[in-house]
Structure 1
Amino acid sequence: MIRHLKQHSLVFLLLIMWQAVVGFGLVPDYLLPSPWQIIWAFIDDIALLGMHAKYTLWTAFLGVVIGLILSFVLAILMDLSKIFKELTYPVLLLNQTIPTIAIAPLLVIWLGYGILPKVVLVVLSVFFPMTIALLDGFNSIQKEQLNLFQSLKATKYQLYRHLKIPSAMGYFFTGLKVALSYALISAVIAEWLGGYHGLGVYMTRVRKSYELDNMFAVIFFISVLTLMLIALIKLIERRVLRYYYVK
Structure 2
Amino acid sequence: MKKFMKKGWKPAAVILLLFIIWEASSKLFEIPGWLLPAPSQIFQTGVEGWASYQHHIFSTVQLTIIGFLIGSSVGILIAISLHLVPQLREALYPLIIISQNIPIIVLAPLLVIWFGFGMLPKIIVITLVCFFPIAVSALDGFRQTDHDLKHYMQMAGANKKQIFWKLEWPNALPYVFAGLKISATYSVMGAVISEWLGANKGIGVYMTLASSSFRTDRVFVSIFLVMVLSLLFFAIIILVEKSLIRWKPKGEGN
Q: 2:174 aligns with which of 165, 170, 173?
A: 170
Secondary structure of the residue that 1:97 maps to in structure 2?
A: coil
Q: Which residue of 2 aligns with 1:107?
A: 111
Q: Which residue of 2 aligns with 1:47?
A: 51
Secondary structure of the residue that 1:153 maps to in structure 2?
A: coil
Amino acid at match of 2:45: A
Report the Cα distance in structure 1 between the residues aligned to 2:80 and 2:100, rounded to whole angstroms. 20
Report the Cα distance in structure 2 between the residues aligned to 1:2 and 1:72, rounded to whole angstroms. 35
Amino acid at match of 1:90: P
Q: Which residue of 2 aligns with 1:125?
A: 129
Q: Please, what TM-score do these two structures have when normalized by structure 1?
A: 0.93
Structure 1, residues 45-76: CA drift from partner, whole Å, max 9, x if none?
22333211222122121122112222222112
Report the Cα distance in structure 1 between the residues aligned to 2:15 and 2:218, rounded to whole angstroms. 21
**Preserved contact between residue 191 and residue 201 of structure 1 (Cα < 8 Å):** yes
Uncovered stretches (5+) of structure 1, i.e. residues with no partner: none
Q: Please, what TM-score do these two structures have when normalized by structure 2?
A: 0.91
**Preserved contact between residue 49 and residue 218 of structure 1 (Cα < 8 Å):** no
Deviation at 1:117, TM superposition (A): 0.6
1:36-185 alignment, distance < 5 Å: 36-185=40-189
Q: Which residue of 1 aligns with 2:11?
A: 7
Report the Cα distance in structure 1 between the residues aligned to 2:245 and 2:205, rounded to whole angstroms. 38
**Preserved contact between residue 192 and residue 203 of structure 1 (Cα < 8 Å):** no
Deviation at 1:243, TM superposition (A): 6.8
Question: CA 1:3–1:73 in structure 2 vs 1: closer, same or farther (change >3 Å)?
Answer: closer
Secondary structure of the residue that 2:145 maps to in structure 1?
A: coil
Amino acid at match of 1:55: S
Deviation at 1:157, TM superposition (A): 2.4
Structure 1, residues 151-199: CA drift from partner, whole Å, max 9, x if none?
2222332222111111011100110011111111111011112111111
Amino acid at match of 1:205: L
Report the Cα distance in structure 1 between the residues aligned to 2:111 and 2:248, rounded to whole angstroms. 40
Q: 1:27 aligns with which of 31, 38, 61?
A: 31
Amino acid at match of 1:116: L
Q: 2:224 aligns with which of 197, 202, 220?
A: 220
Report the Cα distance in structure 1 between the residues aligned to 2:71 and 2:14, rounded to whole angstroms. 37
Amino acid at match of 2:42: I
1:176-195 alignment, distance < 5 Å: 176-195=180-199
Mean CA deviation greater in 139-148 or 154-163: 154-163
Amino acid at match of 1:229: F
Mean CA deviation greater in 181-190 or 154-163: 154-163
Amino acid at match of 1:126: C
1:17 matched to 2:21? The reply is yes
Q: Quote the sequence identity (%).
A: 36
Report the Cα distance in structure 1 between the residues aligned to 2:153 and 2:7, rounded to whole angstroms. 44
Residue-pair matches, total? 245
Q: Which residue of 2 aligns with 1:211?
A: 215
Amino acid at match of 1:153: G
Amino acid at match of 2:228: V
Report the Cα distance in structure 2 between the residues aligned to 1:95 and 1:205, rounded to whole angstroms. 31
**Preserved contact between residue 107 and residue 117 of structure 1 (Cα < 8 Å):** yes
Q: Which residue of 1 aligns with 2:252?
A: none
Secondary structure of the residue that 1:144 maps to in structure 2?
A: helix
Amino acid at match of 1:143: H
Mean CA deviation greater in 168-177 or 17-26: 17-26
Deviation at 1:3, TM superposition (A): 5.0
Report the Cα distance in structure 2 between the residues aligned to 1:11 and 1:38, rounded to whole angstroms. 15
Structure 1, residues 1-34: CA drift from partner, whole Å, max 9, x if none?
4553233222212211211222234322220011
